Every structure is written in structure tokens, then in C-alpha cells.
Amino acid sequence: MRRLLFLLVTLASFGYAAANPTTLINNIPNRTTISLNGPWQAIVDPYETGLNARFYLNAKPKDKRELVEYDFDKSDVLNVPGDWNLQKKELFFYEGPVWYKKSFSYRKREHTRVFVYFGAANYFTRVYLNGQALGDHEGGFTPFNFEITDEIREGNNFLVAQVNNARRRDGVPSVNTDWWNYGGLTRDVMLVEVPETFIQDYFVQLAKGSSHEISGWVQLSGSTSEQQVTVEIPEAAIKQSLTTDAAGRAEFRFPAKLELWSPGNPKLYDVVLSNGSDKVHDSVGFRTIEARGTQILLNGKPIFLRGIALHEEAPVRGGRAFSPEDAQTLLGWARELGCNFVRLTHYPHSENMTRLADRMGLLVWSEIPVYWDIDWENLGTLQNAENQLRDMIARDHNRASVIFWSLSNETPVKPARLTFLRQLADRARQLDASRLITSALNHVDEAGPDTRVLNDPLGEYLDVLGLNEYLGWYWGRSEDADRMQWKIAWDKPLIMSEFGADSPYGKHGDADERWTEEYQANLYQHQLKMLKKIPSLAGLSPWVLMDFHSPRRLLPGTQDYYNRKGLVSNLGQHKQAFNVLQEFYRAADAPK
């Protein structure tokens, strides 16, 4: 208790309020927004002296005698959205706090509420408006917003955000990853204007197990009395009126005759929700997804997932990907490869990715960064993971493309880990029972020299099993795949969620020479022959679409801080293995 009181007093002395982010507003792209993107003044603060110095006040000396040891207006500039690592050479390896400041002008409107919305900031963020604390947020890849209706001024304002990407043992992810820890305001920042009572969130999808009924709910904010809400799908001649309860929520279920969304026909409908003062449009596809035995059924029919895994790394320029153009390039390569499926690893990617996947007809695996070994027995870490799971689902629960919520990647088998992930699985199903739950597993047992058994106890609580295996790279030879047999402890669909080998683009040699394109292509050929023999195989997402930065990859002249398992180089050059997988997918997609 004494420690808690000390912490509260310390935070109060910094002018910092207890964390109180507002519940997430859904469908930001179709709201009234004012962009705060562009250049922000930034102060690098490696010892975090800015809290004691109260950088958030944006103070100026009142006279020539007053000591103020910072000045945003004379400081360097960082562009938002963007990571600091690739913008400034001297910040390439930097991990720690950076203070951002944006000045802007605002004109108030009557009967309008205002929020400040962050698409993502890595990793821990404190936010202030005009020197007043708004709250904080933990997690590097999920959106958050704060209401500023009472704090924003007519005319000039300034927004300050302290972003700290220092890795922590109790963080999600923890201290060890195999991707670059890009820091900063990495996605869009904007003001959002809404009516005094507005549609904060909604879920409009096919009822579970039905292709001819829509079910869902609408949640209002600002209302303490019953309100009328209308749900319309004009193209389908649907118009339903609802009445909210005292908490502003209304649930519904009604019949609908709809053209179903699929990779071959990514049909989207204009869905309109209104309640008098507010009206929101969204482009929504309708499809069913289920697991039956070892098959994945889309709209009641078996589908084989021809996939690829990818990081949110920007092509060519490098750094964190964030723009619609980045998404178009990355998902365009996946389409060129012949994919109908992408595994967005190892954290929620930007909303640009999932909305474009809706339009392109790419099925999506979306994942929270419970990665490798974390602090399984820490209740705060569990709450952090649950918060990130909640916000990932809240942002994308109306995206037809998203069919999997993934809980974790390559976590060790131990009792505390199983308890942790079981709770996440239960929470995911409470939040959204319409999608399938998965995880990427990598613990297998040997049942002989040429047999491996997947029997990770987490498999009992998943709908679909993911398996990462690197036969031919981290163990064995590529040719060993020809004899390898895989046994699965559960009668469930299996996705081979990772396999691959490193090769810089343009490095050539014999098929048994590591680090060559020939080695990578040869490994893919043997792997694909092996995978075809697994009866429960429902799809694959090899590792990885494009080379990406990683501080673990140190080999000079070959890796140079890149994981080189990409089928495409970071400059967009296609390697030989790209053609091998493309040919396999074309054959898999050919009419039987």
C-alpha cells in the first residue's frame, strides 16, 4: 500500500492523471476527422528527465532570469505517422522516451464532442493537451482515444505525447522479439468530431451458423435514456429500427438475403447506422467461417488457405509500414503470389491492411504480440494482453476478411502459460464468438527419427492449430522432409504457419549451399511435398513475404540486421522461392 501511495503521489507531482482512456471509437475512417499528421517537434529524452522538467507544459521562460532547459520549437522534427528509427540515423538503435509536440488551431462547434485518436504508438504513451494530462496507453499496435471536449480551446492548442519503446520483462511483447522495435507515433493521429450522443461501436455480421440472418448490436455514447437506432443495408432492402436500453445498447437479429463475401467475390455492402443526431457508413462483407473436423469451411464449403506471413515493414523505404500505399504493395505481392490468405504477424497491423484485405478478398489471421516467453504469472501482464486482444477485436470485428484471432506465437509449454492462454481464449470467445481462435505453436515431440507429433496442450482450446517448423534450416536437411511424417493429437484443421530459409536476393550457389536463393527454393520444394501428405492440412503461411529488420540478425554481408527469409527482398526483388510457391498455389487453385 505504501508503494502504491508513493506511485500515486509521484504521478500527481508530474501533473499526470490516472490512466483513463475512453472506450474505443469504431470506424474512424468514416467519421468527421481532422488530421494531426505531419511534422511534430520532438525531444529525445534517454534519462526521462522530461517528467520532472514537465515537458508537457511546453513552457517558455517568463523573463531572462528563468531557467527552462528545453524548447520544443528549437528541437528536431519527426514526421507522424512514422517510426523514429528510420527517420534519424542516430536513432536507429534507440530505445527509450521521446517527447512529441504538435501545435494546431481549432474552431469549436456547438453540440459537438471532440476526441484525439491515435492509430498506434509504440510502446507506452502519455498524452497531454494544453498541459493537462489526458491519460496513458500501453501496447504498441492497438488504437486508443481520449475525449478532449472540455480541454480543447478555441484557437491555438498544443498536444504533447511522451512515447517510450523501452522493452520490459512484464510487457506484451516482452524483452525478446525477432523484429525491430520501432518507436514513435507509428500510425495516424487525428481529432474526431461526433455529436453529443453518437454511435460509438457496433457489430453487424451474419449470425453464427447462419448464412441468412444478421445479428449484432449497437452501442451509443452520451445517452442515458432510450434512443431509436436504425440499421440499414440499402442494396439489400433492409431497414430495421431498434430501441436502446438505459446503457445505450441495442441488440438485434433479423433475416437477410445477401451475396456472401469470399476471396473470389469480395462483395461489400454499404451499412448505415443512425440515431437521429449521428449517422455512420461502413463497408461490410458477410460470410460464415467454421471449423469442422480437419476442414475450414467458408460459407459452408471447404477452403484451402494459400497464405503467406508478413510483417508490417515498409517496402523500399524501410521502417514501420502505415500508409494505404504500403498496404497496397504488400498485399499486392501476396495476390501476385497466388494467396487467398495472409497471416499478419506478430501484432495487429494497421486498419489500412484489414480494410484493403476486405476489398481484395484476402482472408486474415490477426494476432496479439504474446510472443515467445513472457511474464506468465504476472496479473498485470495478463491484463495488458487482454486489453490488446479487446482492442484488436473492437477495431476489426466488422471486417469480413478477418477469420482468425490469434493468441500467441511460439510460446513455451508450461502450466502458467497454459492458464494464461486459456483465459485469453475464453476472453476472445466472449468478445466475438463468430470467428475462429488459433495460435502458432512450435513444441513437437519426436516419435522416431522421421516422425514428429504436435501435442501441445494448448491445442485443446483452439479451433485451428498453427504450427511453425523449420526443418531444413534450424534442424535437419531439406531432403529430410521427404521422409518426415507429422501426427496431430487433435482432430482439428492444421495451418503450417511458418517454415522457410534465409537468402539475400541475388546470392547464388548450389542447392545445398546455405544463404543462396537456390537453397531457399530447394527447401520450399521439399517442404511443399511433405506438407501435401498431412491429412489435416488446411492451409499454410510460409515465413515470410518480405525481408524485414531484426536486431538478432547480425551476419555481416548477408543479414546486416535483416531477417532474409523473405520471398521478396526489402527492395521488392522476387527471389527464386517466390516462383516455387507461386507455382504450387496456382496448381492448388486450379479446377479439379
SS3 576: helix
Query: Is the pLDDT at 256 greater than 90, yes or no?
Result: yes
Same domain, 414 and 395: yes
Cell of 346: 506478430
Q: What is the mean pLDDT of residues 31-50?
A: 98
CA separation, residue 244 to residues 113, 217, 224, 230, 429 (Å): 21, 10, 10, 11, 24
Angle subtended at Cα 427 by Cα 425 and Cα 432, rounded to the nearest 5 degrees: 95
Distance (Å, rounded) from C-alpha 341 to C-alpha 436?
A: 14
Read off the pLDDT of each residue in 498-506 and give the average, rounded to a whole number: 98
Please, which residues have CB within 8 angstroms of residue 507's CB and are 6 or more apart in sequence? 515, 516, 517, 558
> What is the arithmetic mean of pLDDT over 239-247?
95
% of the chain with per-residue pLDDT over 90: 94
Q: What is the CATH number of the domain that holds 121?
A: 2.60.120.260
Q: What are the tens digits of pLDDT across the range 211-240?
A: 999 999 999 999 778 899 999 999 999 999
pLDDT surpassing 90 at residue 515: yes
> Under DSSP, is residue 418 helix (H, G, I), strand (E, B) or coil?
helix
In this structure, the answer to whether residues 179 and 212 fall within a common structural domain is no
Mean pLDDT estimate for the chain: 95
- Does 584 share its domain with 471? yes
One domain, residues 186 and 202? no
Enter the DSSP assignment of 184: B
Is it the case that residue 6 has pLDDT exceeding 70?
Answer: no
pLDDT band at 7 (very low <50, low <70, confident <90, very high): very low
Are the CB atoms for 517 and 575 separated by under 8 Å? yes
The answer to whether residues 259 and 395 belong to one domain is no
| pLDDT tens per residue across span 183-198 | 999 999 999 999 999 9
Output the domain CATH number for residue 273. Answer: 2.60.40.10
CA 171 and chain centroid, separation: 16
* 319 shares its domain with 282: no
Q: Are strands 213-221 and 464-468 parallel, antiparallel or unpaired?
A: unpaired
Q: CB neighbours of 351 closer than 8 A, spacing ≥ 6? A: 28, 29, 119, 143, 395, 396
Quick one: 479 and 541 in the same domain?
yes
Q: Span 289-298, mean pLDDT?
A: 98
pLDDT classification of 23: cutoffs 50, 70, 90? confident
Is residue 129 in a domain? Answer: yes
Evaluate whether residue 522 is within a structural domain.
yes
What is the Cα 208 distance to its own chain's centre?
24
Note whether residue 7 is domain-resident: no
The domain tally of the chain equals 3
Instruction: Flag whether pLDDT at 274 surpasses 90.
Output: yes
- Give residue 592's pLDDT: 62
Element (H, E) at 98: strand 97-106
Rounded Cα–Cα distance for residues 127 and 76 (Å):
19
**Burial of 54 by CB count in 10 Å (0-12 exposed, 13-18 middle, 19+ buried)?**
middle
Enter the pTM of the model. 0.95
**Are 70 and 211 found together in one domain?**
no
pLDDT per position as a tens digit, 119-149: 999 999 999 999 999 999 999 999 999 999 9
Query: Could you tell me which of 266, 84, 118 has the C-alpha nearest to residue 192?
Result: 118
E strand intervals along 276-320: 279-284, 289-292, 295-298, 301-302, 305-310
pLDDT score for 590: 76
Which pLDDT does position 18 carry in this prediction? 34
Percent of the residues in the chain that have a pLDDT greater than 70, as a whole number: 96
Judging by DSSP bridges, how do beta strands 305-310 and 76-80 pair with one another? Answer: unpaired
Give the mean model confidence (pLDDT) for residues 364-384. 98
Q: Please name the residues in contact with 562: beta carbons below 8 A apart, sequence gap of 6 or more.
A: 547, 548, 549, 550, 553, 570
Task: Answer yes or no: do 281 and 305 share one domain.
Answer: no
With beta carbons less than 8 A apart as the criterion, state whether 272 and 365 touch: no
Whether 203 and 190 share a structural domain: no
Range of the structural domain that residue 361 is part of: 291-589
Query: What is the arithmetic mean of pLDDT over 79-86?
Result: 98
The verdict on residue 219 lying in a domain is yes
Q: Tell me the mean pLDDT in the region 552-571.
A: 97
In the predicted structure, residue 14 carries a pLDDT above the cut 80: no
pLDDT tens by residue, 441-495: 999 999 999 999 999 999 999 999 999 999 999 999 999 999 999 999 999 999 9
d(Cα 9, Cα 462) in Å, to the nearest integer? 44
242 and 368 inside one domain? no
Q: 6 in a domain, yes or no?
A: no
> 384-441 pLDDT, tens per residue?
999 999 999 999 999 999 999 999 999 999 999 999 999 999 999 999 999 999 999 9
pLDDT at 469: 98
Mean pLDDT over 72-78 rounds to 97
Return the DSSP state at 575.
Answer: P
**C-alpha distances out from residue 345 to 75, 236, 296, 535, Å:** 35, 35, 20, 26
Boundary of a domain, candidates 163, 195, 227: 195
User: In which band, very low, low, confident or very high, does the pLDDT at 2 lie, cut at 50, 70 and 90?
Assistant: very low
Strand order across the 112-118 sheet:
32-35, 189-195, 112-118, 144-147
- What was the pLDDT predicted at 234? 98
Q: 402, 367 in Cβ contact below 8 A?
A: no
Q: Which of 355, 396, 234, 211 is nearest to 287 (CA)?
A: 211
User: Which residues face 320 on adjacent strands?
Assistant: 313
Do both 358 and 465 map to the same domain?
A: yes
Contact 231, 252 (CB under 8 A): yes
Domain termination site, one of 195, 229, 259 = 195
Unique residue bearing C-alpha cell 439489400: 236
Rounded to whole angstroms, the Cα distance separating 226 from 3 reads: 44
8 assigned to some structural domain:
no
Q: Is residue 569 part of a domain?
A: yes
